[in-house]
Amino acid sequence: MNVVIRADASVDIGIGHIMRCTTLAYALKQRGCRPIFVCRALPGDSIAWLEQAGFSVLVLTPSSSHVEADVAFPILAHAHWLPVTPEEDAEQTLAALQAFGLMQPQWVIVDHYALDKRWEARVRAATECQVFVIDDIADRVHQCDLLLDQNLNKSVDVYRAYITSSCRTLFGLDYALLRSEFSHCRARAVARRSSAQPIRRFLIAMGGMDKENVSVRVLDALSQMTSELTFDVQLVLGAQAPHLEAVTRSIKAYSFNIELSVGVENMAEVMCEADLAFGAAGTSSWERLALGLPTLLVVMADNQKPIADELDRSGVVVNLGLSTHLCTASIVTALRALLSDSGRYHAMVQRAFKLCDGRGCERVVEQICQVE
């Protein structure tokens, strides 16, 4: 079964959409499917990384094609993610599929806030495929056969105005797209966190890009606690992170031990060994839940705010708020409060384990493969 995946990564978009689609692609490959990515060349894209991972990637670039935009549709909130309209992107995608010799895939998966019904309807009509949309924000109309929103407390009511009555829906953390390594490491994480031990190993993971360099603000906050706490830090960044070189230089100035990890391939093991995370409120939130890792959470983009609020209400994170408003003093205050309350910390661990079992990708693949 041929499955086309339309998703992008960039400095503005981040790498979360590509990462969760790659997770799904690996799982589909294991079931005998053939995933083909369609990605646009953008600053900070993941095209080379996908190719190195063994996937076929059809690359879209700005072209001279001018497709009339449908003025009946409002400009999407994330339209700036693309240099073209949804109609133009659809035509370029179809041209790339035709050149590749793949005009009748069984499924097209689209994970992109800048694409909507216009894109989906055009591609669906031309290829006669099933369309699967992965969404988080419920802000635009879709024409799809299957829709996934893996966030907490979402239901069909949120999407009723945006999908047809025949669209199948998957909601919640039972369908969180996590790599199999997270379910495999889960028993180890449960055993590790059930034993009494000091909170000494911190993980800083502000997404692959961390375009605002929040990681250094966290390091600055930790530097204020060296007289009262002994700790190690593992800082994770993507290879395309715009501040990677500056971070590499700056970590030498800190007095505590910092391990900088770039392009980590064993994130489940990294999270399993950590006692506490400073993390972005993106898709990695579900990874941390599956491994029971309490988190001081930072909102890196406006669309992450509802996720952070829900996780905070669920008692599994400490929500530090928007990255643009984050200061070292607030980080220090939040960290001291959590470290002084072991009961709260262990309650966060147990609640996290209950919310996400790490097997969501298996369930999504079953939904895809039952319709051929």
At 92-131, the pLDDT tens digits run 999 999 999 999 999 999 999 999 999 999 999 999 999 9
Bridge partners (DSSP) of residue 278 are 204, 296
Give the burial class of 357: count Cβ atoms within 10 A of its Cβ; 0-12 exposed, 13-18 middle, 19 or more buried. middle
3-class DSSP state for residue 279? strand
Q: What is d(CA 46, CA 241) in angstroms, rounded to the nearest whole number?
A: 11
Q: Tell me the pLDDT of the chain averaged across its residues.
A: 94
For residue range 171-191, list pLDDT tens digits in order.
999 999 999 999 999 999 999
Tell me how crowded residue 90 is: count the other CB atoms within 10 A of its CB.
24
Higher pLDDT, 330 or 194: 330
Amino acid at 311: L
3-class DSSP state for residue 368? helix
The single residue listed with the structure tokens 């039972």 is: 174
Higher pLDDT, 192 or 63: 192
3-class DSSP state for residue 194? helix
pLDDT at 64 over 60: no
For residue range 188-244, list pLDDT tens digits in order.
999 999 887 889 999 999 988 999 999 999 999 999 999 999 999 999 999 999 999
Note whether 368 and 144 are within 8 A (CB).
Answer: no
Q: Is 59 left (phi over 0), alpha (psi -120 to 50) or beta?
A: beta
- Enter the tokens of residue 146: 């299957």
pLDDT at 325 over 80: yes
| E strand or H helix that includes residue 318 | strand 317-322
pLDDT at 65 over 90: no
Q: What is the pTM of this model?
A: 0.89
Note whether 171 and 146 are within 8 A (CB).
Answer: no
